[in-house]
Structure 1
């Protein structure tokens, strides 16, 4: 065991936190797997200091689970390793109190290491850390923020067995309409959103603008950008957990599927990313009156050139692929544009000092650590190889239809990811093997499951 915590966390952090929060009785300790799902334990208050001093043994198999928590033996992380324990250590600065728990609890993120203190590279957090370090070698430092789109659903299905939007928690009113940008629709859910904002504030997250989005029961929360892209990913996974917990307290279901309603838009997880140089200046910002910088254009070029082979990261589940449809605000081709929501890579309008890339392919069901790692690797490739992004797309990018460079479905995306040397480098060989093995196992699970539509179409006809 290493003499010091390899993550950089110190026992003083735990001691200071416990002294400031005498009400805390327990702590959720969380490790995020390849799907971005938090897995771990709930420990008691008196156990926290020991965790900071010596870490916590957790089985290696935690990082080799599929979306429902079943072992995926093809990852090599189950019986090939004897399902032995590795050591998880606290992520510095991630210990925060939770809102609305009784008795009071806190939350702590962990990262997995080998027993000798070296990083366990099937941990998604380490994949992002590698890409941050690779950018830093160019004296470039990513600043980022994610957008969180989600649905609030009724816990009961409708008469046809379909999910339905939740009734307003304020007075039980039900709309069933899109209500995009309706402020009155937001007011009906205000007690819930008050608790979400309170939970975010308690966790040190600045949740900002709230929108009623482009489907019944769909909402969006924006997050303030972070100078540390790892912190931006932490904010996203933490906010999802806050939304889910507070929705449950109010009797509704928070849904982070990419496409829960067949006839409406799905939920994205757009990543806004810029690069600061060593002086803190935005390296993507052009001079006054000048055109876009070569660095911005080349960074865009890298994301477009690699998009086809990396779509599995952005659309990791069977349901993810239902989101990509014409006129749906989800991109269907690797093109870029300015102030244009029909493209995959958007340069938002606004002050040039805030110049950034908005990466739009990811669904809200994607793992933000892997999304950020892949996008950074693609931007770096574009910068290093001076990749031309091609002409800007203006107007309706959907008119050109689906691009052949983008896989048509989940199975094709898995095959493209498995064979991608770029993605293997972006995620690291171990993370790439784990992620693609988990996706292949989930694909097999779905393929052998007979859906209701099979009975509807074929039971009495063939």
Structure 2
């Protein structure tokens, strides 16, 4: 009997079996994710693992009240209002894995934060998603999904002009500055790096699938296998980002997950494919007659359209996020929906009706997948509760179908104000997570606005 029974459901037997199977592993990264999706935690030694499973691990409550720079945001209520006391982090069952290509050999374990009495800490983004999953389960619904990961591989050194540049191929040092979209031969130059990415994903139990050369120099996409559990789908995305970053670094390359690192080229999205099942595993979005959409799918689209504007801070949480949204850029600029159409925000992909799903396209790769999934599921529930009609399907060029009826914010500041005022988002995230997230974003907005960018000196120093 443990001194503190794990509220996460983790069992010490999992750790014992892992240690027996991996005598070579000396240390473990224990990782939880803050509102920005940044991995926070510690590196512990092998001998500490069993005690972590038995008693959890104390971590300061302020770990979830940090901005993108790791600075305390007092307005979250998680710093001095709480005396910066310790809470207890517990292992997430099934997430103890070996790390590929690490020296010395190391493991990784995902954690969630709980109050000392064992209740979930509501400003932990994973708990926010669990809350939506539980609400759907109470109604007999079970969401399934997968994320797509777009990113850039960049040279660690900037070019002679001081700008970012695509990484040279790790195979032979060749460098391309062209948009090698869907070029198979171009992928071959990075195959040694991606072989390590796939090997690392396999060790984590992640099914990484198709690799694509994307629509910008140095940009790639990895797709992930559809999971019957969206919590696991979000875990996969978080882990895959760390894997890509680590394996790129091992090959002398920088992995970049900014939404828009190059002004003249397309940005990186994090499309979320989501479907809904009943208790028997039946996909509830499948239509009785192909192309005649059922109400469950249509009302989900209606809810997502109706709530998109006030939710955009979740999907585009940083100053740079808003540079991704541009006409003809493959990033949506209006809450449109359509079928087999990449110019809309909510796409029903072509294919086997049994795999019918919604591809939610607004989120950038810099967004937190736990909060993205939380908000999307809440939007779908909102649509079902109100039987919201999504309106007519957008056909053809969605960039010519911008609607004024359901506008999305024009910039980061408008998104922040909309999110702070949103009753929907407060309910979707939970009041504590909503306060934490919006307070962190407010602090980051102020940080950006008091920093004078170089272009302002270039434009105004000798002109006004």
Same fold (TM over 0.5): yes
8 Å contact 1:2–1:115 — kept in the other structure? no
Q: Which runs of 4+ in 1 moved over 3 A?
A: 400-404
Q: Which residue of 2 aligns with 1:234?
A: 235
More divergent stretch after superposition (281-290 vs 442-451): 281-290
Q: Which residue of 2 aligns with 1:379?
A: 380
Aligned to 2:449: 447
Separation of aligned partners in 2, 1:278 and 1:402: 37
Shift of 1:384: 1.5
TM-superposed CA distance for 1:259, in Å, is: 0.2
Q: In the TM superposition, what are the counterparts of 1:16-35 in structure 2 within 5 Å?
A: 16-35=17-36
| Residue number in structure 1 paired with 2:313 | 312
SS in 1 for 2:153: strand
Structure 1 residues 86 and 289, CA gap change in structure 2 (3 angstroms): closer
CA 1:414–1:240 in 2, change beyond 3 Å: closer, same or farther?
same
Q: How many angstroms does 1:461 deviate by?
A: 1.0
2:200 corresponds to: 199
Q: Using the alignment, how far apart are the partners of 1:30 and 1:280 within structure 2?
A: 31
Deviation at 1:2, TM superposition (A): 7.3
5+ residue gaps, structure 1: none
Matched, 1:109 2:110: yes
Give 1:54-73 correspondences, 5 Å limit.
54-73=55-74
**Equivalents in 1 of 2:216, 2:208: separation in Å?**
21
Find the counterpart in structure 1 of residue 419 from structure 2.
417
With structure 2 as the length reference, what TM-score do the two structures score?
Answer: 0.98
Paired residues for 1:18-167 under 5 Å: 18-167=19-168
SS of the residue aligned with 1:306? Answer: helix
Q: Quote the residue 1:430 is aligned against.
A: 432
Residues 236-255 of structure 1 mapped to structure 2, 5 A cutoff: 236-255=237-256
CA–CA distance in structure 1, aligned partners of residues 104 and 52 of structure 2? 21
C-alpha displacement of 1:184: 1.0
8 Å contact from structure 2 (residues 290, 353) kept in 1? no
2:459 corresponds to which of 449, 457, 460? 457
- The 3-state SS of whatever aligns with 2:75 is helix
Q: How many residues align?
A: 462
Aligned partners of 1:447, 1:290: CA distance in 2, in Å?
48
- Distance in 2 (CA, whole Å) between partners of 1:381 and 1:96 is 37
Determine the structure 2 residue equivalent to 1:188.
Answer: 189
In 2, Cα distance between equivalents of 1:448 and 1:218: 31
- The offset of 1:288, in angstroms, is 3.7
Unaligned runs of 5+ in 2: none
1-side partners of 2:128 and 2:412: how far apart? 23
Task: Verify the 8 A CA contact 1:67 1:442 in the aligned structure 2.
Answer: yes
Q: Aligned-pair distance for 1:383?
A: 1.1
Equivalent in the alignment of 1:269: 270
> Does the CA-based 8 Å contact 1:332-1:402 persist in structure 2?
no
Which is worse superposed, 418-427 or 153-162?
A: 153-162
SS in 1 for 2:128: helix
- Quote the residue 1:398 is aligned against: 399
Deviations 1:45-81 (A, max 9, x none): 0000000000000000000000111110110101111
Deviation at 1:400, TM superposition (A): 3.2
Q: CA offset at residue 405 of structure 1?
A: 1.4
Give yes or no for contact 1:95–1:108 (8 Å, CA) kept in 2: yes
Greater CA drift, 156-165 or 448-457: 156-165
* Distance across 1 between alignment mates of 2:198 and 2:36: 25
CA contact (8 A) 2:3 2:54 kept: no
Aligned 8 A contact 1:149 1:219 in 2? yes
Q: In 1, Cα distance between the equivalents of 2:42 and 2:420?
A: 32
The answer to whether the 8 Å contact 2:29/2:109 transfers is: yes
CA distance in 1, matches of 2:65, 2:161: 36
Distance 2:402 2:454 in 1: 30
Distance (whole Å) between structure 1 residues aligned to residue 420 and residue 240 of structure 2: 31
Distance 1:5 1:349 in 2: 43
> What is the CA–CA distance in structure 2 between the aligned matches of 1:4 and 1:280, rounded to whole Å?
32
SS of equivalent residue, structure 2 residue 373: helix
CA contact (8 A) 2:336 2:402 kept: no
Shift of 1:3: 3.5
- Distance apart, 1:372 and its partner CA: 0.2
Q: Is the 8 A contact 1:2 1:116 kept in 2?
A: no
Partner Cα separation in structure 2 for residue 31 and residue 205 of structure 1: 18
Would you say the 8 A contact 2:259–2:365 is kept in 1? Answer: yes
State the alpha-carbon separation in 2 of the partners of residues 400 and 456 from structure 1.
37
- Residues 394, 401 of structure 2: 8 Å contact kept: no
Q: 1:2 and 1:53 mapped to 2: Cα distance?
A: 7
Supply the distance in 2 between the matched residues of 1:61 and 1:326 (Cα, whole angstroms): 40
Q: Distance in 1 between matches of 2:361 and 2:339?
A: 13
- Residue deviations 1:390-432 (CA, integer Å, cap 9, x gap): 0000000111347561000000000000000000000000000
Tell me the SS of whatever aligns to 2:377: helix
